[in-house]
């Protein structure tokens, strides 16, 4: 069971984030899933619509987002992932004018899986680093650097 859950976790990152397949969300995520701490403000996201709204916002800001899984392992009904994301801030999906900043983030998460779907997650990623990298690029851009 843990191996199947790890495979599902790997598939999630590859299809949903790297291949940007919105249709994989409804296939892999439970309709009533709660994703704790995933939003850009650190809040919870609920269900398909909540996640798809966040997904669209982030991919509008960072259309070239690429996530590499540094670790992914599981036990029982849970998996743990550690990841690195690289992207360029070329859109205004976060309500911030595109800066062209190259962004590198790291994060970790735990997901509970049942019935071959993600039921609940606990996510921790470095939002401050993302906004600091965007702000630094904006300041350099306005200074003509």
CA distance 37 to 109: 9
* E runs forming strands in the chain: 29-36, 45-46, 66-75, 78-88, 102-114, 117-125
89 in Cβ contact with 58 (< 8 Å): no
Summarised one tens digit per residue, pLDDT across range 22-43 is: 999 999 999 999 999 998 888 9
CATH of domain 2-142: 3.10.450.50
Structure tokens at 83: 């990841």
- Residue 62: pLDDT band (50, 70, 90) is very high
CA distances (Å), origin 131, targets 3, 87, 99, 103, 128: 35, 13, 11, 9, 5
Domain ranges for the chain: 2-142
CA distance 115 to 63: 31
Strands laid side by side in the 66-75 sheet: 45-46, 29-36, 117-125, 102-114, 78-88, 66-75
Burial 94-120 (b: 16+ CB within 10 A, else e): beeebbebebebebebebbbeeeebeb
Q: Which pTM value belongs to this model?
A: 0.90
Report how far Cα 111 is from the mean position of its chain's Cα atoms.
Answer: 13
Summarised one tens digit per residue, pLDDT across range 85-114 is: 999 999 998 888 899 999 999 999 999 999
């Amino acid at each position: 069971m843990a191996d199947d859950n790890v495979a599902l976790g790997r598939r999630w990152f590859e299809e949903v984030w790297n291949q940007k397949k919105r249709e994989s969300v409804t296939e892999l995520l439970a309709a009533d899933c709660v994703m704790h701490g995933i939003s850009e403000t650190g809040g919870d996201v609920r269900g398909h619509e909540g996640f798809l709204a966040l997904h669209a916002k982030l991919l509008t800001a960072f259309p070239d987002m690429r996530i590499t899984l540094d670790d992914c392992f599981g036990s029982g009904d849970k998996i743990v992932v550690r990841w690195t994301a690289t992207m360029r801030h070329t859109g205004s999906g976060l309500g911030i004018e595109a800066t062209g900043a190259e962004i590198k983030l790291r994060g970790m998460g735990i997901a509970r899986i049942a019935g071959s779907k993600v039921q609940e997650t606990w996510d921790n990623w470095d939002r401050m680093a993302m906004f600091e990298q965007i702000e630094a690029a904006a300041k350099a851009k306005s200074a003509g650097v």
